[in-house]
Structure 1
Amino acid sequence: MVDFNGWDMPLHYGSQVDEHHQVRNDCGVFDVSHMCVIDVHGADAKVFLRRLLANDVERLDRPGRALYSAMLNEHGYIIDDLIAYLMPFGYRLVVNAATREKDLAWMHSIAVDFQVELRERTDVALLAIQGPSARVRTIDLLDRSRAALITELMPFQGLEENGWFIARMGYTGEDGLEIMLPAEQAAGFFGDLVGAGIGPVGLGARDTLRLEAGFNLYGSDINDEVTPLTANMASTVAWEPRERDFVGREALAVQLAAGGWPQLVGLVLEDRGVLRPRQVVRVECDGEGEITSGSFSPTLGKSIALARIPAGAGERAEVEIRGRWHPVRIVKPNFVRHGRPLI
C-alpha cells in the first residue's frame, strides 16, 4: 500500500507483471474510487461546460455519451484532463484525484457567471473491470436488467440502472467497464468480482497498461505548463463553431498559428535498459527533449516511453541512461491496443 494524494492505494496485490498480463489476456478489477466525480446541474449546465472545456459537449448526441477533454486556463495550459458524460439531469464529470481541489476551485470560479450547481459525489465508489473478457465475465455476476444494459452499451457511453452508473470505457487500451455504485455496496461487489476469478489490479499495472495504450497521466505527461497541442491532444480541441469562446481559446489559437510547438511522441528502446521519466532525449534536428513517462512494457518485452521533443524530429533519437547514450526509435504515442502491438 502507498499514499496516493491522500488515499491509501495498492501498488500491487502480489505481482505487478502478472496483474498486467491478467488484464491484457483476460480481465482484472481496479478500485479507482479516488477519482473525483462531479455532477453538473442547472439551466446553464451546457453553456457553462461549453465555456469551461476545450472540447464541446454539444457533440454529445445521445444519453450517456461521453467525451474526453482538457480544462484550460487563460493561457491555454491544462488544468486537468477529464471525461464528461451527458446525463438526464445535466452532465457528469470524472476528474483526477490529484487535481481535485484546484479543479473544483476553478470550476466554481467560472460557474459564478452561470445558473449552474456543482455537486461532488462523495457517496459513490468507482470500480473498473478491464480486459477482453471484462464485459462477459461481469454480466455473469449481475441481475438481468444491468446485464442487459451492458450488452447494449456502445464504447464511450455510460447509462444508469437501478442506482448504478455503468460505462463502457477505461484507461488500459482494452474493452471494459467503469461502474459507479453506492459506496456502501462497493466492497461486496469487489468481493464478488474477485471471487469469480477477476483478479484485483494495483497502481503499478495500471500505469504500465495506460503507458502501453499511450494515455497521458496528469502530473507526468500533462500539467499546467503544457497545452493540448504539445500533449498529443489536439483532436480534443473543438474549434468549431468559431463563436464558442472556451477558456484558453485565444492563447491556444496563437500557438496553433505560430506552429513549431514541441510534440509528444512514443519511444522504443533499441537495446537493453529502462526508459524513465526526466531522461534527456537527443533528436536528429540538434534539439533536446525529455521523457515524461517511461517503463518496461510487459506486453512488448521492451522499454517504452512518452517523450516531449522538438518539432521536426525524424524516426531516430538517443536517450541518456546513466551517462551513456542509447538509440531509440520514435513512434506514434500508442504502443498496444486491444492486446495487439501497434509498433
Structure 2
Amino acid sequence: MPNKTPLHDAHVAAGGKMVDFAGWELPIHYGSQIEEHHAVRRAAGMFDVSHMTVVDIQGAGARDYLRYLLANDIAKLGETGQALYGCMLDHQGGVLDDLITYYLADDFYRTVVNAATRDQDIAWMREQAGDFDVDIVERDDLAMVAVQGPEARERVIDVLNAAAAESLKPFRAISHGDYFVARTGYTGEDGFEVLMPESEAEGFWQQLVEAGVQPCGLGARDSLRLEAGLNLYGQDMDTSTTPLESNLGWTVAFDPGDRQFIGRKALEQQKADGVPRRLVGLVMGRGGIPRTGSTVHTDNGEGQVTSGAFGPTTECPVALARIPAGEFEEVEVELRGRRLKARVVKPPFVRMGKVRI
C-alpha cells in the first residue's frame, strides 16, 4: 500500500485524482492540470510535498562531513537559514540525488532529499559518515507545502502572520514558531516551501485555500519545473550521468582545491578528457510532442530526450535532452518514425512568468 501524507484526506475531499508516486499516494490534478499550471504562473498555487524527506545533520563534525558528502561546498553558507543547492555523488561522479541544504548553526544543517531516492540516500549518508562526529536524523514528523507564484509570498505571510518573512531573500529560510519558511521552489516562480509539524498541515492547507491559493497536483508541478528548465531526478540525471553532463556544472565547487568531496577525482578526469555529453533545451513546432526516450539526431551522433511536454506557458512543445558535446542551433527529434526539427536553446524556457525563448 502506498504511503499517505497528512494531507491525503484533504486531497480526496477536494476531488484530487490520486496516483502512486514513488510509493506515496498523491494527487496528479484536481480536475485540470492546465488550470493549475496557469494558477501558479499568474497568481498562487500550492503543492503537497510532504513525501519529500527532511534530514537533520547535527554534531561537531557536521560541516566537515557535508563538505565531503556534497559536490557543492557548504562552506559558502554562513548566515542562519542560508540555503545551497547541489548534488550528492557516488565515487564515479554519478548523481545519487540533488538536494537543498540549509545552514542553521555551525553544528546543525537541514537537507531535503527526493522521495524516490529516500532509502538509498539515507543509507548512503550514514555509510559515508564514517568517523565524522555527526547524527543523521530523518524528520518524519514534518509535513511540507510548497506555495508558488507571483502572489504566493503575500498569501503565506498573511496566513501565518509572519511579517519577518517579507524581507526574506531567495534561498534563505527562517523559523516562525513551529514553522520553517524557506524562499525556495521548483516551479521557476517566487514563493515559499513551508515545513511544519504534521498536526498543523491540514489547518495550514485549508487556510491557504480560503486565502485563494489553488491546490495543484503532480502534473502541474512537472510541467512547471520543465518550463523552468529544472532537472527531475531519475529522468534528467541519475547515477549514469554527472553534474557536468546535466547542466549542473555550476553546482560543483572545485575551489578550494584541497577539499576532497566524493566524486571529485572522477569529475576532474571528465573535465580533463572533455565532457562527452550535455543537457540542453529543445523548442519544437506543433508537429509533435517530444517524449522521454525520444531519439535526438545531431551532426555528432544521437542523443535522447530526457523530459518533454507541451508547455502551457510557452504554448509550444519543449524538452530537455542529453546530446553529444558540440554547438548546435538545430537538431532533429524522432517521433513515430518522423524526424522533426527542434531549436537548441539554453534553459530555462520560462522564469518568473516570462517566456524566455
State the TM-score, normalizing by the size of structure 2. Answer: 0.94
**SS at structure 2 position matched to 1:102:** helix
Equivalent-residue separation in structure 2 for 1:152 and 1:287 (angstroms): 49
Question: Any residues of structure 2 matched to 1:98-137 within 5 Å, and which?
Answer: 98-137=116-155
Question: Any residues of structure 2 matched to 1:127-206 within 5 Å, and which?
Answer: 127-143=145-161, 147-206=162-221
Counterpart in the other structure of 2:101? 84
Question: Any residues of structure 2 matched to 1:1-343 within 5 Å, and which?
Answer: 1-88=18-105, 90-143=108-161, 147-283=162-298, 285-343=299-357
Amino acid at match of 2:129: A
1:63-109 deviation per Cα after TM superposition (whole angstroms, max 9, x unaligned)? 10101010001101111000000013510000000000000010001
Amino acid at match of 1:287: G
Equivalent-residue separation in structure 2 for 1:44 and 1:140 (angstroms): 39
Equivalent-residue separation in structure 2 for 1:192 and 1:117 (angstroms): 35
Give the CA deviation at 1:199.
Answer: 0.8
**SS at structure 1 position matched to 2:159:** coil
1:229-284 deviation per Cα after TM superposition (whole angstroms, max 9, x unaligned)? 0000000000011110000100110001111420000000133211110000001x
Amino acid at match of 2:211: A
1:286-322 deviation per Cα after TM superposition (whole angstroms, max 9, x unaligned)? 4110000000000011000000000114100000111
Q: Where in structure 2 are there 5+ consecutive unaligned residues?
A: 1-17
Contact 2:44 2:150 in 1 (8 A): yes
**SS at structure 1 position matched to 2:207:** helix
- Aligned residues between the structures: 339
Give the CA deviation at 1:163.
Answer: 1.3
Equivalent-residue separation in structure 2 for 1:54 and 1:273 (angstroms): 37
Contact 2:245 2:275 in 1 (8 A): no
Equivalent-residue separation in structure 2 for 1:271 and 1:295 (angstroms): 11
Amino acid at match of 2:215: P
User: Which range is displaced more, 67-76 or 266-275?
Assistant: 266-275
Give the CA deviation at 1:131.
Answer: 0.1
Contact 1:264 1:333 in 2 (8 A): no
Give the CA deviation at 1:195.
Answer: 1.7
Give the CA deviation at 1:215.
Answer: 0.3
Amino acid at match of 1:339: G
Identity rate, percent: 53
Equivalent-residue separation in structure 2 for 1:93 and 1:208 (angstroms): 25
Give the CA deviation at 1:61.
Answer: 2.1
**SS at structure 1 position matched to 2:180:** strand
Equivalent-residue separation in structure 1 for 2:328 and 2:211 (angstroms): 48
**SS at structure 1 position matched to 2:347:** coil
Give the CA deviation at 1:148.
Answer: 1.6
Equivalent-residue separation in structure 2 for 1:270 and 1:203 (angstroms): 25
Amino acid at match of 2:48: D
Q: Where in structure 1 are there 5+ consecutive unaligned residues?
A: none
Equivalent-residue separation in structure 2 for 1:297 and 1:198 (angstroms): 22
Contact 2:300 2:326 in 1 (8 A): no
Consecutive aligned runs of 4 or more in structure 1 exceeding 3 Å deviation: none
Give the CA deviation at 1:332.
Answer: 0.3
Equivalent-residue separation in structure 1 for 2:131 and 2:323 (angstroms): 39
Give the CA deviation at 1:138.
Answer: 1.8
Contact 1:271 1:327 in 2 (8 A): no
Contact 1:279 1:321 in 2 (8 A): yes
